[in-house]
Every structure is written in C-alpha cells, then in structure tokens.
Structure 1
Amino acid sequence: MKKLWIALMAVSIMAISCKENKEEVVEEDTAVSEAPAEKTIAAMNDIEIMPISHATFVMNWDGQIIYVDPVGGSASFEGMPDAEVILVTDIHGDHMSEETLMSIKNDKNFLFTPKAVADKLSDGLKPLVVVNNGETTTRNELKITAIPMYNLTEGRLDKHVKGRGNGYILEKNGYRVYISGDTEGIPEMRSLENIDKAFVCMNLPYTMDINQAASAVLEFAPKEVIPYHYRGSEGFQNVDKFKSIVNEGNESIEVTLMEWYPSKG
C-alpha cells in the first residue's frame, strides 16, 4: 500500500511539472510572435514631408505621393516624384492654381477638391473627385475625409465661409494626419481625436494668430503639430513663440518647425 501511495505521488509531481513547462513554452511563443508585428506597424507609417512654400507641400507616405495645394508652376515640383493623390483645399490663389494643376495632372493621379474649386477649374482637369465637408473617399488604402475650415472672427467672416473649402484628415494603417487649410480654431478642429500629425495654419488677417492656433492645438492634442501657412499681409507669425506656448501647455506634443519660406531672410 505504501509503495502504491509513493508511485501515485511521483505521477502527480510529474504531471504538475509537465503542465508548468507547457505553460512556459506558450508564453515564450506568444512573445516571439508579437515583436515582428509591432515593427511592421511602425514601418507602415513612414511619412516624409517636403515643404514647397506657404501652404504647398509634398508628402511621401510609404511610397504613396500626395501633393497638397500645389501652386507655383511646374518648376516648384522639379525633382519631385509624380503625385498619385492631389488635394486642393480652397479657391484662393495660394491654394488653387489651374496652371500648376495642368502641369502635374496626368492619367495616373487623382485630384480631390471641394465643389467650389471644381466649379472654377476647366474641363482639361476633369474628371476629378469632388469631396465636400463631412464626406469621405479612398484611394489605395488612403482614407480621405473632408472637414470644415472657416473663419469665426468678426471682420474675417467673408474670407473663408463655412462649407466652401476643405480641411482634410488622411488616414492609413490607423495613422491620422490633419491638414487644416484656411481656418480659425473652430469647434470641428478642437473636437478632433487621435490625430498623429497636424498641419495648422496661422496667418493674419486671413485666419488666426499663434495664440488661437495654440489654444486649439492644446485642446485636440495631436501627437505632433507642424505650423505652416504663417505668412500674411501683417508679416510672418512667430512660430517659435507658438512652439513655446504649446509646449508650456502640454510638453508631450511635439512641435516641428519646418522651412516653408526659403527666401524669407
């Protein structure tokens, strides 16, 4: 009887030991499978920004080339890869240039504009894709959502009326980029969520100053903000001070200053 009891105890100890070893192997396998996935997601959100001037820039998002508000003629884009996606925000000359659009438009790229812009462009630039405030479209996994951009301050209301132009949210692989267009710190901007990279304008007397821009940025708290479009008839806005205001309010927001005006000095 004593021998039987000893044998049963030995079997029990072996069973427990095997179970613990099996659980340890499962945990190790799980850890190994998670690591490559994290690297893949990071690699899929590789974005290169190439400022042209003022509101115009080129974005290379994992090889998908996006032109934003292309103006300045074909010379401004010499050496740049051809666009797959072209976005226009508004009808003003620092955002819409038919001559420039004609020089870069081809059979392989897609032009997205609000209706007010489409109505002013000639048939040579059509077909194009009209997307208005609140509407969403896609191009090769790039989700494009048009959101409002307009003025709030008395004396500026007629410069950018609600519903005419577009700000844009671009999203791919869970990464979200906001392009403000010409706007003040409107409720639609302040209520944005989960923005990874934001381009925010600040130029008087047409949109807003650095204080209103910083207030809005602190409210929707993007991971990174890039001030752009900061030259107005009253001169250049102080983007260094904008950066200081934002970082004093929230040091976790990365403020990236880029060269938008090469001939400024």
Structure 2
Amino acid sequence: MTITKYGHCCLLIELAGKRILTDPGAFSSGFTELTGIDLILITHEHGDHLHTQSLQAVLALNPRAAVVTNTGVGKILGELGISYTTLTDRETTTAAGISIKPYDGKHEEIYENFGQVENTGFLLEDGEFFYPGDSYIVPDEQVNILAAPVAGPWLKVNEAIRYVLAVNPKQVIPVHEAVLSEVGKRVTYPHFERELTKQNITFTVLEPEKTVIM
C-alpha cells in the first residue's frame, strides 16, 4: 500500500490495484488534478472534509470514480447532480473493486449538539486501512493502518491517544491536523509518539504530497 497526503484528511491510497481518495475538503490542496481515481470516500459534510467545488473538479477528470458516503453527504451531492452510493452499516461490500465496511455514527461532540452530523468511518480490505472520520468509532477487525485524528475543536489529546490504543493498529498516520500550527505539531505529535511506541505502534507523519510505502 502507498499513501500520499494532500493535507488534513485528504489521502490518496493505492491499495489492491486501485486509487482511493478520502475527504476532498477545503483544508486540503493539490489533489484536484489527480487522475486514475477509482473510489472517493467522504466521511461527513463539514467543509474541511467535503469541498464541493473541489470534488466536482476531481470528478471532471475522473468521471468513472465511484463516490461512497452517507445520506447526510448524499443529500448535498444529490442537489448538485453528483451520483453517489451509500452502504449498510457494518456490512462488508465491494465498491470499485475494493472491499469496504462502513461504520456509521455521529460526529464527535464539539459543543452540545453543534456539528454532530452523520459520520461514516471506512474499513478497507478487511482491516488493511481504517479511517474513522471525526469519530472515535472502534472497528471490530484488527487494523493494519489507522488514519487517526490528532487535533480539532472536538478532540483532546488524551482522548485521541486512548482511541488509538483501543483500535490497536500496527501503524498510525495522523490526520485532521490542519488546525495545528507548526509549533502545535511539535507540541502534539511527541505525546502520540511516546505513548504509542510503548505499545509497538508506529506513528508516521506524512509530508504533503510525498508518497510513502506503508
């Protein structure tokens, strides 16, 4: 598997011979000219995960790409005439040649009910990769690579570390970090590295637009 990060939560994952794009949002860049995309996964409707103009630009170059999401996002896409597919919660299916198991739920609480939209995490290829979106949902399967949120208005570092330990993946890549300054990253990342290393979990920071073999 190779992963290229385009900022925040937008990842290009090359897995099982397919090219998968996650959360083309407003805090990400450099992905709108990608080609050969087979599958686009959108976890929820917040602008840092779904920027509709950017999604339209990607689809213009990849008209055969399948878009998989939930009904909340689907309502927005339907109004724009964008085709999409929703999946049954925790039921494994195949889309664009990739095995997907969705985990439906709500966005973690920011303040009271603010922002608690529908959120869907995606488990790919029987646990090879898991991305929970903005949630602490723990999949049933053993996970190889977890894309773990590390910052945000709904998140505390201790909660995020405990979440990663609950999933217990072999490797972690941090996402949802656009809200951190460079100083903030230098403060935040060592906490994850220290605690995850104790459990033999690898913490790998991806540089923008650099492809890494995982």
Q: How does 1:225-236 map to 2 (within 5 A)?
A: 225-232=172-179, 236=184
The letter for the 2-side match of 1:110 is A
1:204 aligned residue: 152
2:163 aligned residue: 216
Contact persistence 2:110–2:116 (CA under 8 A): no
1:178 aligned residue: 130
Give unpaired runs (5+ residues) of structure 2.
none
1:255 aligned residue: 203
Deviations 1:3-25 (A, max 9, x none): xxxxxxxxxxxxxxxxxxxxxxx
Contact persistence 1:223–1:254 (CA under 8 A): yes
Contact persistence 2:24–2:49 (CA under 8 A): yes
> CA distance change for structure 1 residues 119 and 205 in 2, over 3 Å: closer, same or farther?
same
Larger radius of gyration: 1
Give unpaired runs (5+ residues) of structure 1.
1-46
CA distance in 2, matches of 1:245, 1:253: 9
CA distance in 2, matches of 1:137, 1:58: 21
CA distance in 1, matches of 2:28, 2:193: 33
2:75 aligned residue: 119
CA distance in 2, matches of 1:227, 1:120: 28
Contact persistence 1:54–1:261 (CA under 8 A): no
Deviations 1:34-89 (A, max 9, x none): xxxxxxxxxxxxx1110001111111114310010113599722663321001111
Contact persistence 2:9–2:28 (CA under 8 A): no
Superposed CA RMSD in Å reads 3.0
> CA distance change for structure 1 residues 50 and 116 in 2, over 3 Å: closer, same or farther?
same
> CA distance change for structure 1 residues 81 and 62 in 2, over 3 Å: closer, same or farther?
farther
Deviation of 1:146 after TM superposition, in Å, equals 1.4
Q: How does 1:3-82 map to 2 (within 5 A)?
A: 47-72=1-26, 76-77=30-31, 80-82=34-36
The letter for the 1-side match of 2:123 is I
The letter for the 1-side match of 2:129 is V
CA distance in 1, matches of 2:39, 2:207: 23
Higher RCO (CA < 8 A, seq sep 6+): 2
Between the aligned residues of both structures, percent identity stands at 23
Residue 166 of structure 1 aligns to a residue in which SS?
A: strand
> CA distance change for structure 1 residues 123 and 137 in 2, over 3 Å: closer, same or farther?
farther
CA distance in 2, matches of 1:198, 1:109: 23
Q: How does 1:52-201 map to 2 (within 5 A)?
A: 52-72=6-26, 76-77=30-31, 80-105=34-59, 106-131=62-87, 133-150=89-106, 155=111, 157-161=113-117, 164-171=118-125, 174-183=126-135, 185=136, 188-189=137-138, 192-201=140-149
Higher helix share: 1
CA distance in 2, matches of 1:222, 1:74: 25
TM-score (norm 2): 0.81
Deviation of 1:166 after TM superposition, in Å, equals 0.7
